[in-house]
Amino acid sequence: MMISRRSLIASVAGLTGTLALGARAADKPAPMVVYDDELKNGWQNWSWATVALSVPAGQVKPIKVEGGPWSALALHHDPVSLAGYTK
């Protein structure tokens, strides 16, 4: 069985493209989870409002904020590299 030069070049190009896509997927960072029933991954509550984290509401635990004038929900995380993240 003979393989033409054109078929060989197309096969090598396709394999190279597949390997490159695999390498890009491996370089993609994991999602930055901020809140999933509680603050995650080093996030901290720096709010200056009445804030209750992990308030049971059925099967989910949302954040409850009781704000007033000059109060706010504020979440903080130490500096983190955003390399690899996009909009």
**Measured distance CA(87)–CA(77) in Å, rounded:** 19
Establish if 87 belongs to a structural domain: no
Establish if 83 belongs to a structural domain: no
> What domain count does the chain have?
1
* Full residue range of the structural domain in which residue 40 is found: 5-76
Which pLDDT belongs to residue 48? 93
**Measured distance CA(8)–CA(56) in Å, rounded:** 60
The answer, as to whether pTM is greater than 0.85, is no
Structure confidence at residue 49 as a pLDDT band (50, 70, 90): very high
Establish if 63 belongs to a structural domain: yes
Establish if 84 belongs to a structural domain: no
Establish if 85 belongs to a structural domain: no
Establish if 42 belongs to a structural domain: yes
